[in-house]
Structure formats: C-alpha cells, structure tokens
Amino acid sequence: MLDQLFLQAQMRFGSAVKSRWFYDGDGCPGCGREMKVMKFIGKNAFSLNAFIFRDHGVLIGYLLCGKCAKYVL
C-alpha cells in the first residue's frame, strides 16, 4: 500500500517526492500502544497514514492503533 501511495504522490507532486520510508516501531506513534487490528464497518482493518516531509522529499508512512485512528476519523 505504501508503494501505491508513493506512486500517487509522485504523479501528483512530481519531483517533490523522491523517496519513501515506513515507520516500523513497536508501538503506535501517536500514543505508544500496541498495534492491533481494529474493526471498521464490521471488518478487520489497519489505519495506514502518510505525510510528505517536504524538506527532504520523503513520503513517511505509519500505522495508528484503533484509538488514535478513531480520533483522526
């Protein structure tokens, strides 16, 4: 999925997005909780999020725990 987001970002923003990186820490970057599958519309899901760090042209992807994902939604 991150590869797909990267390609979409390159199509939209061109050379401003040069690389990608995935945060693979043990806990949620929002609160530090353990990452678990959450229920979304009755199905199992993960919350994949991304942003572009423009100073370096890097698309950074990360997962959020269910509590943080619900807060964002």
pLDDT of residue 28: 92
pLDDT of residue 50: 94
- CA 70/CA 18 separation, integer angstroms: 30
Show the CA angle centred on residue 66, arms to residues 60 and 70, nearest 5°.
90
Q: What are phi and psi of 54, to 5 degrees?
A: -60, -35
pLDDT of residue 20: 96
| Residue/partner pairs of 7-11 with CB below 8 Å, 24 or more apart | 9/50, 9/52, 9/59
pLDDT of residue 26: 85
| Residue ranges per structural domain of the chain | 2-72
Model confidence, pTM: 0.82
Give average pLDDT by consecutive 10-residue segment, the chain, 73 residues. Answer: 94 94 91 88 91 94 90 85
Name the residue among 56, 62, 63 with its Cα closest to residue 19.
56
